[in-house]
């Protein structure tokens, strides 16, 4: 029993929290585990990004390709999104996302949490374009181009979709030739983080 108790304490100590900034769940905290590559978007960055989005999230259908703490999705729901899909491969963090959903008393019809890698989950989603998509993968995996291609190929984004990209490098560097497929709405370097809001460029081919 002592071993189990210590393990429970250890797990609890490994759980950190990040707060929701505004909206219905303002100042509530959601939890995330200490896992490799899991780093919630800092408060200052999120505040800037959600100020950019303003009322665009009201009644929006939102997809968070790499949920992690889930704070981007929970913040979207807090600000009026009608439906959020989250994708998270880590089993323990997947369970923690469910804990956060229950703690915030979010009805399951408003939040779908998928366990698995985005590369595997995205092709299984209904082929209907989302209003808002967050692309914020672990930096070391270099998945930005892969995810953009999957979103386009599986008809999950269109020319009206707002696309958030977060990276540790300038976006034209991480996206290469695919950068030309995007129309920049907002872009900013904040410390060591590069963030931007885009839409698919109407002048660009989607294939």
Condensed to tens digits (0 to 9), the pLDDT of residues 114-135 reads 999 999 999 999 999 999 999 9
Would you say residue 13 has pLDDT above 50? no
Q: How confident is the model at residue 11 (pLDDT cuts 50, 70, 90)?
A: very low
Which residues have CB under 8 Å from 98's CB, separation 6+? 113
Q: Is 150 helix (H, G, I), strand (E, B) or coil?
A: helix
Percentage of residues of the chain with pLDDT beyond 90: 83
Q: What band does 3 get if pLDDT is binned at 50, 70 and 90?
A: very low
* Residue-level pLDDT at 207: 46
Using alpha carbons, select from 124, 42, 38, 47 the residue that is nearest to residue 89: 38
Task: State how far the Cα of 156 lies from the Cα of 133, in Å rounded to an integer.
Answer: 9
Q: Report, in angstroms and rounded to the nearest whole number, the Rg of the chain calculated over CA atoms.
A: 17
pLDDT average, residue stretch 19-37: 90
Q: What is the pLDDT of residue 9?
A: 30
Kindly report, residue by residue over 65-77, the tens digit of the pLDDT. 999 999 999 999 9
Is the model's pLDDT at 38 over the cut of 70? yes
Question: Does 53 have pLDDT greater than 50?
Answer: yes
The pTM (predicted TM-score) of the whole model is: 0.90
Is the pLDDT at 138 greater than 50, yes or no? Answer: yes
| Helices vs. strands in the chain: H and E counts, helices first | 7, 9
Q: Cα separation of 39 and 32, whole Å? A: 9
Dig out the tokens for 32 from the structure: 């995330």
Q: How confident is the model at residue 204 (pLDDT cuts 50, 70, 90)?
A: low
Distances (CA, A) of 93 to 30, 66, 198: 11, 11, 28
CA end-to-end distance (rounded Å), the chain:
58
Q: Average pLDDT over the chain, rounded to whole?
A: 90
Domains and CATH numbers, the chain: 14-200 (3.40.50.150)
């Amino acid at each position: 029993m002592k071993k189990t108790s210590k393990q429970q304490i250890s797990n609890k100590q490994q759980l950190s929290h990040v707060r929701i900034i505004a909206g219905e769940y303002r100042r509530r905290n959601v939890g995330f585990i200490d896992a490799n590559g899991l780093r919630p978007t800092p408060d200052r960055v999120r505040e800037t990004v959600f100020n950019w989005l303003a009322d665009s999230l009201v009644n929006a259908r939102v997809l968070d390709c790499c949920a992690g703490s889930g704070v981007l999705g929970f913040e979207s729901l807090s600000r009026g999104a009608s439906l959020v899909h989250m994708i998270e491969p880590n089993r323990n963090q997947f369970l923690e996302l469910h804990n956060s959903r229950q703690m915030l008393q979010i009805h399951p019809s408003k939040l779908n949490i998928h366990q698995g890698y985005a590369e595997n989950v995205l092709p299984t989603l209904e082929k209907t374009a989302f209003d808002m998509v967050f692309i914020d993968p672990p930096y070391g995996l270099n998945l930005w181009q892969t995810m953009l291609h999957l979103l386009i190929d599986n008809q999950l984004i269109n020319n009206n979709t707002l696309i958030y990209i977060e990276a540790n490098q300038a976006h034209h560097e991480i996206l290469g030739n695919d950068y030309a497929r995007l129309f920049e709405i907002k872009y900013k370097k904040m410390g060591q983080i590069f963030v931007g809001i885009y839409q698919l460029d109407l002048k660009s081919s989607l294939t």
